[in-house]
Structure 1
Amino acid sequence: MKRLFYLFTSVAITVGFASCSLDDDGANFYYAPLEIVNAQVPDTFEYGKVYTINVDLLRPDDCTMSDTFDVRRSATDSTNIRTVSAIGIVLEKDECEEVSEEIRDSFQFEVIYNDPYIFRFYSGDNENGDPEFIEVEVPVK
């Protein structure tokens, strides 16, 4: 009787695992840069403080959502130049409705240098496919 119980149990477990498909159809979204149309930065920074930088982004359709910011220090220029890109998640759906609306998001920025900061906010590509930026300089007191 015990053998019969173990046989039925092992068959049930095998059928249970075999009926579950672990195949993944792939990701149903991808990341894309969003155009920044405006940024609200303070007139001056104070060394050692953390600031909230508000950014207005262009949401092109209802399949696109704001996710995060990529704030990079310029490796070739200066330690105080920051290039800011807004990263969006785009859902892969059959139909996306165009909305062309501005949404607001923000990120935290810590002032770790005494020299003025130059922010380069990515605002899209021009007709030649070259990136364009909104540049803002903020002195540190």
Structure 2
Amino acid sequence: MKPFWNLLKLLLPLILLSACDIGEDEVSYHFVSLTTVSVDMPEEFRLNETYEIGVTVLEPNGCTEFAGFDILPENTTIRRVVAIGTEQDDVPCTEVLSEVATSFDFICLYSGTYTFRFWTGKNEDGVDQFMEFEVPVVP
């Protein structure tokens, strides 16, 4: 058994070093917030039911792709929703705007009224702007 452990001690650093090679062919990117254009929100929720919420977001150029949503609870029933994209670094981009229709699933866990605040960009003063929806939870 001891020869096995000695061999493992020798091979493990080699395996780890070779697995960490980051070549120059790797794509470099960073995350960006994407503007929400429209939302397809239900008129009401029922407790413990799941809803698909449709969202249309704007990709600002040919180097940006929608990646998902950052959904942050601001309170028990208040959600701030920001669409997130990945934008490639150091590559030429087209300046074509593209609308992307996507969705996320939401499970209604609390009674009362939910407020959803979808990020729509910043105004001329640099202040975040939101599209808001209030959805009551019915019995």
TM range (shorter): 0.7 to 0.9
1:81 lines up with 2:73 in the alignment:
no
| Residue 52 of structure 1: aligned partner | 52
Q: Residues of 1 paired with 2:50 and 2:21: CA distance?
A: 45
Deviation at 1:27, TM superposition (A): 6.0
Larger Rg: 1 or 2?
1
Q: Deviations over 1:28-63 (max 9, x none)?
A: 011010000111110111110011111000111110
| Residue 37 of structure 1: aligned partner | 37
Report percent identity of matched pairs. Answer: 36
Equivalent residue letter for 2:86: I
Q: Residues of 2 paired with 1:32 and 1:62: CA distance?
A: 13
Question: What stretches of structure 2 of length at least 5 have no aligned partner?
Answer: 1-19
Deviation at 1:24, TM superposition (A): 5.0
1:106 lines up with 2:138 in the alignment:
no
Q: Residues of 2 paired with 1:119 and 1:98: CA distance?
A: 30
Aligned 1:1-141 pairs, distance under 5 A: 22=21, 28-74=28-74, 78-141=75-138
Q: CA RMSD in A?
A: 2.1
Deviation at 1:104, TM superposition (A): 0.7
Q: Residues of 1 paired with 2:95 and 2:36: CA distance?
A: 17
TM-score computed with the length of structure 2 as normaliser: 0.80
Deviation at 1:91, TM superposition (A): 1.1
Q: Is the 8 A contact 2:27 2:88 kept in 1?
A: no
Q: Residues of 1 paired with 2:22 and 2:110: CA distance?
A: 50
Equivalent residue letter for 1:42: P
Q: Residues of 1 paired with 2:46 and 2:55: CA distance?
A: 20
Q: Deviations over 1:75-109 (max 9, x none)?
A: xxx31110000010111142100111211111111
Q: Residues of 1 paired with 2:114 and 2:78: CA distance?
A: 6
TM-score computed with the length of structure 1 as normaliser: 0.79
| Residue 9 of structure 2: aligned partner | none
Equivalent residue letter for 1:85: V
Count, aligned residues: 120
Deviation at 1:22, TM superposition (A): 2.9
